[in-house]
Chains A and B, each alone.
Chain A
Amino acid sequence: MINNLSKICAAILLVSSAANANEQTVYQFPEVQSASVAQLHMLEKDSVEYWQRVSGKELKRGVPVFVNQAEHFIRIAPKARFESGEVFKPRDLQLDKFSVSDANAQQLPMHAIAAREQMQNAGFTDGSVGLKLGQVNAKAMLKTSQALNDNDTYLVHVNEKGSRNALHAKTQFKVNDQQQRVGMQLSMGQKRVKDNEVQLSLYSPEGEQLDVRYENGEAVFTYPLETLGAANGYYELEANVETKVNGQTVKRSIKMPFVNSSQTITMDNAKVTALGNNQYQAWVPVQVTDSGRYAIRATLTGKGDKGERVKLATVEVAKQIDNYDQFMMPFSVSKAAKAPFELVDIELTDQTRMLKFAQGQ
């Protein structure tokens, strides 16, 4: 019943807070929450695919496709082109115009798998078509007899499902603002990918391509990153790798997201007051570097009968903060405990930019 009561109290607090957008939103969790697990520092991923942008002219002349196993799929998609302030969308592709040949221009068998409508049914709504080589040949040339514009752009996307030659990437997920490098380890099997085998691209959350180079296991940016947080999506590093495995060329592409982070909120010591009747208030002074909506989540603790620290309740509070301010965290608890009362498992969140900070980080 006390639990129900605290829920109802919390709901009333919310009705109160909703009346003014600048006031706090308060939520008391039905149960004490465990400490926030460690922040996400690294991301790992494997790729058995590659993609490559080619021009209409190249596609008409013949583009090498690197396929090393029978199980594979080749997707070709028209891509937009930006020129003189205008966006050009290329002509749709005709599957029956594609053919495959070897290095001596001898025709190789090819299976036309999916025309535009069928690719659309599979979720590829960009005008893609799909095909497969009838004979695995690492030197196959893919070409079309369709009258494409020379300057139009197309994507050749090759997937070798289950391939042993998977590119493995391990990258830093959270980058501190002004840090102009990100750890990015690339390997294939036991072999570490060399710097000169990597072509690296960097894209902002807004899709803008930025200068970057790959240097000894790190992506190094020419300029500091501008967008803070993940509210508009992530920065992405795209690595295109071409290497030799047992004498055969293997190409792989991989994209790794990361967030550009800055400690936009810091807190001072909290002060906890017991109001009686199992009600408590914690006042937490904070300072922010950028105005926005911020939140704090914390668990109230007190001393048990044997002097042990007891977790009493977890509350989250959010409000708009422009500079210096303080959160008032109301706790309604069902367990009896003694002073001193303290907050633990504190997590601060910048909701405007989507950044999380465990206290002490």
Chain B
Amino acid sequence: MKIKTLSLVPALVLAAGMSHSAFAAQGVAFVHGTGQQTDAYNDYWTGSFVNTVRQGLPNTSNYTVINCDFEQYMWADGAAGCLAGQLTTFINNKNITDLTLITHSNGGNVVRWILSNPTWDSRFPNIINKVTRTIALAPSSGGTPLADAVVAGNSFEQSLGWLLGYGNDAVKQQQVSWMASYNAQWLYGTPNRPSLPSRFETVVGSDVDSAVWDSDSYCGGYQNQVALEVTQNWLDSCSDGFLNCSSQSLAGTVWFTDKSRTKGSEPLSHQQSRRNCFGLPDMIKNRI
């Protein structure tokens, strides 16, 4: 390998000595959760959420909405590889020097894969060096017992490549014991593991308000009461209807737990933590 670095050092010293703000171009990328997205702006986040958050940028056009196949394992080319490709294009096209990632659910795991495995892909180091903060909304850092339940008894279907629609690799990956193994060996940011190279701040959803007479229940789409009755069979009393609070707060540091900061002290269900509900995008706008 030929490495030509020494002759560049004087120029680099000069560049590094100049004011950071003279170069800083801040950007935001919205990273969706489990699923194969082609229009995450409309289908996953909604314009109302994205357009509120990006008002916090000095240049409001420095944002991108990621569309990848997060039904694959987080390390797969269609997942982390796709994310790396879209982030690299965004960084290069906009000359981004200071990148904030806003993730939801399993998107936090795909981002942690990149931040924890810097040489897995030659594009990862440049991304890691640009990311200054991740705001992880309801990240599934510790997996969810619901993934175990969905996958239970499905071993035969797995051999069919999940063609029958019974689940996917991302669901398998988010089983609690599988995530425990990834957190212990492959991912940073959980207790007794190396720290992530940049801040990873989580927003935790702790409850679900699903009363039919409460209009707040409808923000982000009505959370079906019966569906909750089903999922609660697998979840703790502190959950967002999909993830236990312990899973959401396992990696990084907790920025806040829903009711402590939301308008009206409303809880954020798993659907609501990616929508314009109870002042969430305004809080993110003021944070970035």
Q: Is the C-beta of A203 less than 8 angstroms from some C-beta in chain B?
A: yes
Contact with B along A248-263 (1 / 0, CB 8 A): 0000010111010000
Inside 8 A of A49's CB, which chain B residues have their CB? 149, 152
Q: How far is the CB of B194 from chain A (nearest CB, A)?
A: 5
Whether B1 contacts A17 by the Cβ 8 Å rule is yes
CA–CA, A295 to B124, complex, Å? 14
One of B39-47, B62-70, B174-182, B257-265 contacting the partner: B174-182
Inside 8 A of A40's CB, which chain B residues have their CB? 181, 184-185
Inside 8 A of B151's CB, which chain A residues have their CB? 255
Inside 8 A of B117's CB, which chain A residues have their CB? 351
Taking each of B122, B146, B154, which has the highest tally of chain A beta carbons within 10 Å of its own beta carbon?
B122
Q: Is the C-beta of B125 less than 8 angstroms from some C-beta in chain A?
A: yes
CA–CA, A45 to B1, complex, Å? 47
Contact with A along B24-41 (1 / 0, CB 8 A): 000000000000000000
Contact with B along A78-112 (1 / 0, CB 8 A): 01101000010100000000000000000000000
Q: Is the C-beta of A77 less than 8 angstroms from some C-beta in chain B?
A: yes
Whether B166 contacts A27 by the Cβ 8 Å rule is no
One of A133-141, A192-200, A205-213, A217-225 contacting the partner: A205-213
On whether A24 and B1 interact (CB within 8 A), knowing A8-B12, A123-B242, A161-B233, the answer reads yes
Interface size on A, residues (CB 8 A): 84
Contact with A along B83-127 (1 / 0, CB 8 A): 000000000000000000000000000000000011111111110
Q: Is the C-beta of B156 less than 8 angstroms from some C-beta in chain A?
A: yes
Whether B194 contacts A34 by the Cβ 8 Å rule is yes
- Having A87-B164, A255-B152, A318-B120, one finds 18 other A-B pairs with CB under 8 Å, namely A9-B8, A9-B12, A12-B8, A27-B119, A27-B125, A29-B118, A40-B184, A51-B152, A80-B166, A114-B227, A123-B150, A124-B230, A125-B165, A126-B165, A159-B233, A207-B158, A255-B148, A277-B9
Which 7 pairs between the two chains have the least Cβ-Cβ distance?
Answer: A207-B159, A318-B119, A207-B158, A27-B118, A121-B227, A122-B227, A122-B230
